[in-house]
Structure 1
């Protein structure tokens, strides 16, 4: 991933927090048919390995679990908040007009070799963990045990598990750190006026990340 130093995020806890907040990762592998990519919801087990281990399941009908090269890294892309940034929000537009549109975003890319797991007990633990996390905030959380056991057992036969021990992880938070304070204030204000959750979240990131060290721009 292209990584200008001022956008780079190497804090593992921050990277993990984005994965947990946006668990639908894009799983990318290389197989005999070429590159394959599928959106898959992952559970992160931070204690399973030094950089964390990603656990998920695929439909047995999804050929990606069979057609991949196990000696090569898989890539999982977790997309966090992202928004278009209009130059109309910049103070610099009114000062000299030398501005262009851009896109702000936060993203994590995790690399590691993919292992296929065809074990009903492992799969039950994985879907239970994933469901419990996603249902936790609901007033009356649904859990896997609410479904009849024979039905759950039948569903497990239609999926296979995958596990990726992360061996390399990159974070990138491109949130207007390369703009002047006046431009950043304009971006945050413009985003909040949009009144949607994604824009408000991005405004908070722009405020929190601030300027480059020493007030540099690039």
Structure 2
């Protein structure tokens, strides 16, 4: 993914963004074709600090055949985005643009056996449940064993290892008209676009003029 220094997040902020979204598009190449799958993304680290992504796809998905090949792959995680007309800068002398937030994760695929696949699914469900509801999180053990076993037989697990993360948060950095732009963004009916108003005023990027908390 093409980016520039002023659009780049520090690594901890990229990891936090991916974990907050927890959903992206996995892309790889096999037998002359580009294969893509939208899927949940669980970015974790080993005991010695190595980052990896755990995930799964439907066993019927053609992509499941690629995991054992060690093929290179990318996962793209997207945040809020919007088209910006020139008028939102308070002038018609600016070129319209697009604001967006994205993190790309590159690595190599490896297959997971059934035991690791189940463990990875349980870890991801536990994390997402705790962020979504109060009380004890739901687990696979709460449904009949034949249902959980059937579900697990229908998926193929993988891990993406040897990661390299890249980010591009285009938020009008180092350009004028930011206050007028933020005002226009705040007036939009879409809550994701309104979130961009906060980001253009305080870019979380390494060259954006403010630190990442």
Q: CA deviation at 1:62?
A: 0.6
Instruction: Tell whether 2:194 aligns with 1:194.
Output: no
Q: For residue 80 of structure 2, give the secondary structure of its aligned residue in structure 1.
A: strand
Residues 28 and 34 of structure 1: CA distance in aligned 2, closer, same or farther (over 3 Å): same
Of 199, 204, 209 in structure 1, the residue corresponding to residue 198 of structure 2 is: 204
Instruction: Tell whether 2:131 aligns with 1:132.
Output: no
Distance in 2 between the 1:24 and 1:55 partners?
12
Distance in 1 between the 2:113 and 2:189 partners?
45
Distance in 1 between the 2:127 and 2:96 partners?
37
Instruction: Tell whether 2:155 aligns with 1:159.
Output: yes
Distance in 2 between the 1:82 and 1:14 partners?
18
Where does residue 7 of structure 2 map in the other structure? 7
Q: Is the 8 A contact 1:32 1:68 kept in 2?
A: no
* Residue correspondences, number: 206
Q: Tell me the TM-score normalized by structure 1.
A: 0.85
Q: For residue 94 of structure 2, give the secondary structure of its aligned residue in structure 1.
A: coil
Q: CA deviation at 1:199?
A: 1.4
Q: Is the 8 A contact 1:135 1:142 kept in 2?
A: yes
Distance in 2 between the 1:198 and 1:46 partners?
29
Of 97, 102, 109 in structure 2, the residue corresponding to residue 102 of structure 1 is: 97
Unpaired segments ≥5 residues, structure 2: none
Q: CA deviation at 1:17?
A: 1.0
Distance in 2 between the 1:15 and 1:195 partners?
27
Q: For residue 167 of structure 1, give the secondary structure of its aligned residue in structure 2.
A: strand
Mean CA deviation greater in 82-91 or 29-38: 82-91
Unpaired segments ≥5 residues, structure 1: none
Where does residue 117 of structure 1 map in the other structure? 112
Where does residue 167 of structure 2 map in the other structure? 171
Residues 188 and 129 of structure 1: CA distance in aligned 2, closer, same or farther (over 3 Å): same
Residues 132 and 73 of structure 1: CA distance in aligned 2, closer, same or farther (over 3 Å): same
Deviations 1:144-193 (A, max 9, x none): 2221122111211111110011431101111111321xx11111111111
Distance in 2 between the 1:208 and 1:169 partners?
22
Deviations 1:12-43 (A, max 9, x none): 11101111122211111110041111111111
Where does residue 80 of structure 1 map in the other structure? 79
Bigger relative contact order, structure 1 or 2 (CA pairs below 8 A, ≥6 apart) = 2
Distance in 2 between the 1:195 and 1:98 partners?
26
